[in-house]
Amino acid sequence: MKTLEAQVISSEDLLKHWQGHRALTRRLIEIFPEKDFFEFSIGGMRPFSKLVDELLAIGGPAMKGIVNRDAQPYTEGTEKLIFKAQYLEKWDEATAEINKYWEELSIEDFNETFNLFGQYEFPIIQNILYFIDNEVHHRGQGYVYLRALNIEPPFFWER
């Protein structure tokens, strides 16, 4: 019989933590000027819209794949979004999808290995932590862009 190690953070608190990051990223999307959201970059980095495309391709689809144990390949930017408002709508849809699939995870699932997108074979908890880390990383790029545009970003701790 498999036993679980002592838990440091509950499933509910981990989701709350992730959704706090998502709420902050959403605020960054909102304050980006429309044109700059799609065009502004520094040092060859992708515009923030392209970074958000990546985050949208991970969050909801990854959670669906994990819950259904369906290792669909990673696909990004299949929908051609041309307005920031469309990104915000997709962001909200992904947030709801994450919440929906999260409810289907059991505590035992977090330690199971899953081959996410058919290429990242790790315990589910490590994949989820990657989703959060990746979002924080790209949001940091967004902060740099906003500062370069002389726009004050929200405080990073206001999640």
**Is 138 assigned to a binding site?**
yes
The values of phi and psi at residue 104, to 5°, are -90, -5
User: At a CB cut-off of 8 Å and minimum separation 6, what does 65 contact?
Assistant: 71, 72, 114, 116, 117
Q: What is the rounded CA–CA span in Å between residue 60 and residue 128?
A: 11
Residue from 20, 17, 2 nearest 106 by CA: 2
| Binding-site residue ranges | 138
| Binding-site residue ranges for a divalent metal cation | 138
